[in-house]
Amino acid sequence: MNTTNHKELLKKVRRIEIKTRHAVNDVFAGRYHSVFKGRGMEFDEVREYFPGDDIRAIDWNVTARTGVPHIKKFVEEREMTVMLLVDISGSNDFGSTGQLKRDLAAEVAAMLAFSATRNNDRIGLILFSNQVEKYIPPHKGTASHVLRMIREILDHTPQNRGTDAQPALDFLNHTTTRKAVTFLISDFLFPANCEKPLKITARRHDLIAVSIADRHEQSWPKAGLIEWRDPESGERTLVDTSSIAVRSALLLAQEEKRKTMHRVMHRANIDTIELFAGEPYDKAFMLFFSHRSSRR
């Protein structure tokens, strides 16, 4: 990477850090904590009983030994593993609003990672195309660890430009044996055979789908005959955008992909958060947190 590109990358990382830290401090941290409470309660200490304490917590062995009532004190066991699975295939380099889909994915990943850091969770990253491109094992969250993940999402050059989540999901299931809160961040242009690995992963982990899209992927301009290149396969096709029938068919195809994705996630019992490049994402996450809280 030349010096200019490196400076631009650092500026972009810094902008994302400032924006997402602000969002975490002001909006997300408390909701994240209330929804993802950790694995349960762990023993902390034994102390003397005081009037009003829950008598079910009395430690009868210590009470018998000392002759004074004692209770067991427990604290919430906070540490969790949070895995971010981020799609960096060719289709995520699209953006019509000044923000690429990959940039939005990096911003969302940063927000989730900083929220996890505030709660002392372990955070890991898997970048994927139609194969696993990069793996950063989960570690206790630190600023440098989060910033490294943001840089990788923004700057990693994938070996392949196609999309298939199955290798990443299989890799997650083999490397992360303990149940993890897993955010799958993608535009979900997957092969139809991904439903089975999604269901398997959702049974092993708390899997949440974060759909990244661009509004203009669903609306084609009336620009006459244009050459359209598939960003993943590289295939070029002439498209007559002056035809209402052609534009309607393209819109219908995009809408059907979206509906299929929602059906697959619903059947797999996977919550879905739908986001669009260039648009605020706070309301979508707050709705997700509220939905999770009401279910709990």
- Residuewise pLDDT in 10s, the chain (296 residues): 556 677 888 888 888 988 898 888 877 878 887 788 655 555 567 888 878 778 888 889 989 999 999 888 765 555 789 999 999 998 888 777 788 999 999 999 999 999 998 888 999 999 999 999 999 999 987 889 999 999 999 999 999 888 899 999 999 999 998 899 999 999 988 766 789 999 999 999 999 999 999 887 766 666 676 666 665 566 777 777 677 887 777 778 777 878 888 899 999 999 999 999 999 999 999 999 988 887 76
Characterize 9-26 residue by residue with b for buried, 16 or more Cβ atoms within 10 angstroms of its Cβ, and e for exposed: eeebbeebbeebbebbee
Q: Cα–Cα distance between 34 and 176 in angstroms, integer?
A: 24
pLDDT of residue 22: 83
* Structure-block tokens of residue 13: 């990382």
- CATH 3.40.50.410 range(s) for the chain read 3-36+79-295
Specify the 3-state DSSP secondary structure of 5: helix
Q: Residue 244: what pLDDT?
A: 81
pTM: 0.80
Please give the CATH architecture assigned to the domain spanning 3-36+79-295.
3-Layer(aba) Sandwich (3.40)
C-alpha 154 chain-centroid distance? 15
Q: 96, 113, 112, 134: which is closest to 282 by C-alpha?
A: 112
Distance between CA atoms of 129 and 158, rounded to whole angstroms? Answer: 7
207-244 burial code (b ≥16 CB/10 A, e <16): bbbbbbbbeebbebeeeeeeeeeebbeeeeeebebeee
* The pLDDT of residue 251: 77
pLDDT of residue 151: 95
Q: Which two tokens stand for residue 179?
A: 């149940």
The helix (H) or strand (E) run that includes residue 213 is: strand 206-213
